[in-house]
Amino acid sequence: MVRVVYRSPSYARVGILILMLFWAVLFGYLQAYTNPPLLATILLLLPFLALAWTLSLISRETVWETDDSGIRKTFGRKTTASTAWKDVGELFVKAGPRATNASMLVVGRDGSRKMKIVAGAGLDLPGLRILYQSACAYLRVHRVEGKNPFGWPNTLPLAGTVETRSVKPNWLAHVGVALSTSGITTLLGAMQRGSAVTSWLGAAITLAGIATMVEAFLRSKRSSHAKPPVGL
């Protein structure tokens, strides 16, 4: 059996906790000093609930496993995808638009897609290679040959558990979202109090957040032209 395990980095969980604390303090301040209407209160609660939901998701580990029976993916305690080798007709890897992206497709004998595993957020390219090579080894019994554009040999790696790391996230986009949300919240609070200075400050923070998100998008587009690695 080969297991590839992904656990979110601890700094991501700590960062979300700090952001939740900041949002709780801001929410309490707005409730105490601005007395916003019910609709505004509900809207202010939504980001906190979204952060709590995100924290619960990234606290669970993701496991990809291959053995002589098949391949499966488990998220937390729930198996989200599973395919038996006897039902597989094709196995191939496609290069993605970036140097760190690729996807492995498991196709059934009837031509339907049984599973798609993407290297990117949550699974790095070496982890995908381990899954691909182990799948190729198990599929030999069923006379199915894997195909990949990277020159990876179809040999079985050492059995055991492998820790995989996520591709470095686009933190600039997250900063942009945080700035925009904070700016809009500040602007709403200032409108309740009738403060012109704070209103201008909220508008400036919102515009800075939008500009940051645009820059993150442009950087993402530029990095998409990088060539994928060969023979990793």
pLDDT at 165: 52
Query: pLDDT-based confidence at 170, cuts 50/70/90?
Result: low
* Predicted confidence (pLDDT) at residue 106 exceeds the cutoff of 80: yes
pLDDT digits (tens, 9 = 90+) for 8-34: 777 777 877 887 887 788 778 777 776
Record the tokens describing residue 147, joined without a space.
């195909």
- Left, alpha or beta for 52 (phi > 0: left; psi -120 to 50: alpha)? alpha
**In the chain, domain spans:** 1-168, 170-227
Q: How high is the pLDDT of residue 161?
A: 56
- Mean residue pLDDT across the chain: 78
Strand partners, 62: 6, 75
- Write the CB contacts of 41 (distance below 8 Å, at least 6 apart in sequence): 31
pLDDT band at 227, cuts 50/70/90?
Answer: very low
Which CATH number applies to 1-168: 1.10.10.10, 3.60.15.10, 2.30.29.30, 3.20.20.10? 2.30.29.30
Q: Average pLDDT for residues 92-121, to the nearest whole number? A: 84
DSSP string, 139-176: HGGGT--EE-TT--------SEEEEE-PPPP-HHHHHH
* Percent of the chain clearing pLDDT 90 (strictly above): 16
Given a cut of 90, is residue 42 above it in pLDDT? no
Looking at the DSSP assignment, which residues form a beta bridge with residue 103? 94, 118
Does the model's pTM come out above 0.75? no
Give the pLDDT score at 108: 92
Q: Who contacts 118 (Cβ-Cβ below 8 Å, separation ≥6)?
A: 96, 101, 102, 103, 104
